[in-house]
Amino acid sequence: MKMNLPNQLTIARIIITPFFLAALLWEALPHRFLIATAIYAVGAITDAVDGHLARKNGQVTNFGKLLDPIADKILTTSALLAFMTMGLCNIWIVMIVLAREFAVASVRMIAAADGVVIPANKWGKAKTVSQMTFTIIIMLLCEADYIAVTSFSKELFAAANTWFTLPHISNLLLWITAALTVVSGAIYLKDSKNVIFTNQQTAHCYNRKLHFDILFRTFSGIM
Q: Is 72 a catalytic residue?
A: yes
Kindly list the structural domains of the chain, giving each domain's residue range(s) and its CATH number in brackets, ordered by start. 5-222 (1.20.120)
As a whole number of angstroms, the distance between CA 14 and CA 11 comes to: 5
pTM for this structure? 0.76
Cα torsion 140, 142, 148, 153 to 10°: value is 170
**Which residues, at least 6 apart from 9, have a Cβ–Cβ distance to it below 8 Å?**
46, 49, 50, 53
> What pLDDT score does 134 carry?
93
As a whole number of angstroms, the distance between CA 1 and CA 189 comes to: 34
Among 50, 72, 145, 213, the active-site one is: 72
CB 123 within 8 A of CB 184: yes
Question: Which parts of the chain have pLDDT scores under 50?
Answer: 203-212, 214-216, 218-223
